[in-house]
């Protein structure tokens, strides 16, 4: 067993023991504890748990990989996901907390005085949550398959077992305290290697500042900034300039950002966290603290992505372009390269038989013609999975084994924390909204709690099955989940709070039309959805030939949301208004408690 193996098993094993211990200590004994942790979580603790719930495998593993390969264009994720939290804090969290229900579908059912609306909301919630959880399962599989040196399938089974113990046993109460521990693990795991690498490349220990700092070559100033050096390296190999490349058109960038933003505000596993605090004011504080905790990782991610790309390119391209000694000899590739090859997430093909690695953009006709003069026959790095960049970066930079092990534990913490929150949202939708709320209203609390746990186990099994055949890389799948939440749940929540004329017919029509339009667009441009083994890749830079107004499938949730709003408003204007007591309910939800009362001066 190598030093790295020893560190990895020790650190990951210790964190798993911690999660299970917390679950046993915080076991849920009532439905209130299972669904909303009894409603007594401190806002700072809830903000930390919310941050862990939010920062999934997509945030920890995939986002920096996207930034590494898409440069400035990947800023849509930073803007969309953080901007969505501002929307959530200002426009949804306090009002939903004041309404005082366990779940999002329960709010929709009561607000729109309709069991049908509640059922439609459950279906939308499950579609978005299952799509999201696939990305977490892939993150678990990627981390385990490389660092615990077990097959991808076995990694998933281990992850499913850990989630099953602390989520099924503890419910929201156990998940909340476990997520607090997971946040501490993942934030240290993300920032510690970033500090090391920033010091190595720029001499500055603060990654956020190092990103804009001077690049240090062989211990001395190079005369270039870090980003300037990265632009130079990638353009010399035929790739687009890192600091200016975009994802499609300007409209697509806008739609992508908007879809992620309103999808964030509409994701039920995030919204449900604000039902766990004692007071309405605490819901706002929780959202504010969550933003602070999230910002620690999100402001570090651009530096991690840029530095990972530079380290990767510098490792493979070791000299002047075109020189025989300028490319890494395959037989001399480092150990980290060999280990990732074993996972299948990094693949090399010697197309010209010279035994050296030519990694360049052979899709650029001008550079491809230039490369032919060197005797190159095409890009020989036929697969560089973006999801490996954060996990591989410490190894590429030759950081200590304990730092690499910490990164593994952090990646698993991020994936497990979000998977648990999503699975709880699915479980509560089935047990509380469908069973208790619609089909078996007279069941006891004990029976409902058992149904919730059984639903959780079934959701884990389904998520694991889909995770065994992941449709593309983590963040690409997650982006679709945000689109589904944006097009179905966010509009109906907004109109439920701020439009008292909105009725049940409009709400149902809006949800059905929004999610249907989005799914049809995804089907049309991405192949068969939810069929294991199909490709579900993130769109590359550029534009699909038949994209509507140049908007990619991952960004189409914004269009679906507009359709939802338009259909809901139109239908509600031609049908009967809501009952008087529902309109008063909407007004009461919007008015702060104590407003209008006399105050002694």
Comparing 25-39, 201-215, 432-446, 512-526, which segment has the lowest mean pLDDT? 25-39
Q: What is the mean pLDDT of residues 145-157?
A: 73
Query: Is residue 197 within 8 Å of residue 393, measured between CB atoms?
Result: yes
Lowest mean pLDDT among 175-184, 357-366, 422-431: 422-431
C-alpha span between 165 and 176 (Å, rounded): 14
Distance CA 323, CA 325 (A): 5
Provide the pLDDT for residue 565: 95
Predicted pLDDT at 31: 61
| Rounded Cα distance, 406 and 186, in Å | 8
Residue 600 pLDDT class (50, 70, 90 cuts) = very low
CA distance 132 to 119: 20
pLDDT single digits (tens) 68-95: 888 888 888 888 888 887 887 778 877 8
Highest mean pLDDT among 144-148, 208-212, 246-250: 208-212
Report the percent of the chain where pLDDT is more than 90.
7
3-state secondary structure 25-51: HCCCCCHHHHHHHHHCCCHHHHHHHHH
How confident is residue 170, by pLDDT bands cut at 50, 70 and 90? Answer: low
Out of 48-62, 244-258, 373-387, 487-501, the most confident range is 487-501
Report whether pLDDT(50) > 90.
no
Closest CA to 139 of 335, 349, 416: 416
Cα-flanking dihedrals φ and ψ of residue 547, to 5°?
-70, 140
Residue extents of the structural domains in the chain: 3-213+240-305+400-473, 307-396
Q: What is the mean pLDDT of the chain?
A: 78
Q: What is the pLDDT of residue 146?
A: 65
Give the DSSP letter string of 245-304: --SS-HHHHHHHHHHHHHHHHH-HHHHGGGGSSSSHHHHHHHHHHHHHHHHHHHTTHHHH
The beta strands (E) that lie in 404-556 are given as none
What is the pLDDT at residue 474? 41
Distance CA 267, CA 92 (A): 11
Integer-rounded Cα radius of gyration of the chain: 25
Q: Tell me the percentage of the chain whose pLDDT exceeds 70.
A: 83
DSSP string, 95-124: HHHHHT-SSHHHHHHHHTT-HHHHHHHHHH
Max mean pLDDT range (73-87, 110-124, 417-431, 519-533): 110-124
Q: In this predicted structure, which of 41-45, 121-125, 131-135, 592-596 has the lowest mean pLDDT?
A: 592-596
Question: What SS3 state is found at 225?
Answer: strand
pLDDT recorded at residue 573: 93
At CB < 8 A and 24+ separation, what contacts does 525-530 make? 525/552, 525/553, 526/553, 529/471, 530/130, 530/131, 530/466, 530/471
| 191 Cβ neighbours under 8 A, 6+ residues apart | 207, 296, 297, 300
Q: Return the higher-pLDDT residue of 577 and 102.
A: 577
Mean pLDDT of 498-504: 89
Whole-number pLDDT of residue 541: 35
3-213+240-305+400-473, superfamily in CATH?
A: Sodium/glucose cotransporter (1.20.1730.10)
């Amino acid at each position: 067993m190598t030093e790295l193996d020893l560190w990895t098993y020790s650190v990951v094993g210790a964190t798993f023991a911690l999660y299970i211990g917390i679950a046993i200590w915080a076991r849920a004994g009532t439905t209130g504890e299972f669904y909303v942790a009894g409603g007594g979580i401190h806002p700072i603790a809830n903000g930390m748990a919310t941050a862990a719930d939010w920062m999934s495998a997509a945030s920890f593993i995939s986002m920096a990989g996207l930034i590494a390969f898409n440069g400035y264009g990947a800023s849509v994720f930073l803007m969309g996901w953080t901007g969505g939290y501002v929307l959530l804090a200002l426009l949804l969290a306090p009002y939903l907390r004041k309404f005082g229900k366990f779940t999002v579908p329960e709010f929709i059912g009561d607000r729109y005085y309709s069991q049908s609306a509640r059922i439609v909301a459950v279906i939308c919630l499950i579609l978005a949550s299952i799509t999201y959880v696939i990305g977490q399962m892939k993150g678990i599989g990627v981390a385990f398959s490389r660092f615990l040196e077990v097959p991808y399938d076995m990694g998933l089974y281990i992850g499913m077992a850990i989630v099953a113990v602390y989520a099924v046993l503890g419910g929201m109460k156990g998940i909340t305290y476990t997520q607090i521990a997971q946040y501490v693990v993942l934030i240290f795991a993300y920032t510690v290697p970033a500090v090391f690498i920033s010091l190595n490349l720029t001499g500055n220990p603060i990654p956020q500042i190092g990103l804009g700092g001077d690049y240090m070559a062989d211990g001395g100033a190079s005369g270039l900034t870090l980003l300037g050096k990265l632009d130079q390296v990638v353009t010399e190999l035929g790739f687009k300039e890192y600091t200016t490349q975009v994802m499609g058109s300007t409209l697509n960038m806008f739609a992508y950002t908007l879809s992620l933003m309103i999808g964030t505000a509409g994701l039920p596993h995030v919204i449900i966290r604000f039902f766990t605090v004692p007071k309405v004011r605490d819901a706002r504080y929780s959202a504010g603290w969550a933003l602070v905790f999230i910002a620690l990782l999100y402001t570090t991610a651009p530096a991690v992505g840029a530095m990972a790309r530079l380290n990767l390119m510098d490792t493979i391209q070791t000299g002047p372009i075109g020189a025989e000694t300028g490319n890494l000899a395959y037989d001399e590739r480092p150990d980290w390269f060999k280990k990732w090859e074993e996972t299948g997430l990094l693949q090399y093909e010697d197309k010209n038989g010279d035994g050296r690695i030519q990694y360049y953009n052979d899709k650029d006709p001008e550079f491809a013609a230039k490369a032919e003069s060197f005797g190159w026959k095409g890009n020989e790095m036929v697969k560089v999975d973006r999801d490996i960049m954060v996990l591989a970066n410490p190894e590429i930079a030759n950081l200590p084994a304990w730092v690499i092990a910490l990164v593994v534990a952090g990646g698993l913490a991020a994936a497990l924390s979000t998977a648990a929150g999503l699975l709880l949202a699915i479980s509560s939708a089935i047990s509380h909204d469908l069973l208790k709320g619609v089909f078996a209203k007279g069941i006891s609390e004990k029976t409902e709690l058992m149904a919730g746990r059984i639903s959780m186990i079934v959701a884990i099994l389904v998520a694991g099955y889909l995770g065994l055949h992941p449709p593309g890389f983590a963040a690409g799948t997650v982006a679709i989940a945000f689109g589904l939440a944006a097009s179905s749940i966010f509009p109906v929540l907004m109109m439920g709070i701020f439009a008292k004329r909105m009725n049940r017919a409009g709400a149902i029509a809006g949800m059905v039309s929004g999610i249907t339009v989005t799914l049809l667009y995804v089907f049309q441009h991405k192949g068969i959805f939810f069929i294991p083994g199909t490709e579900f890749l993130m769109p590359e830079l550029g534009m699909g030939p038949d994209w509507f107004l140049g908007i990619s499938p991952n960004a189409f949730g914004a269009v679906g949301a507009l359709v939802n709003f338009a259909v809901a408003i139109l239908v509600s204007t031609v049908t009967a208004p809501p009952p008087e007591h529902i309109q008063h309910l909407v007004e009461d939800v919007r008015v702060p408690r104590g407003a209008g009362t006399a105050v002694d001066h």
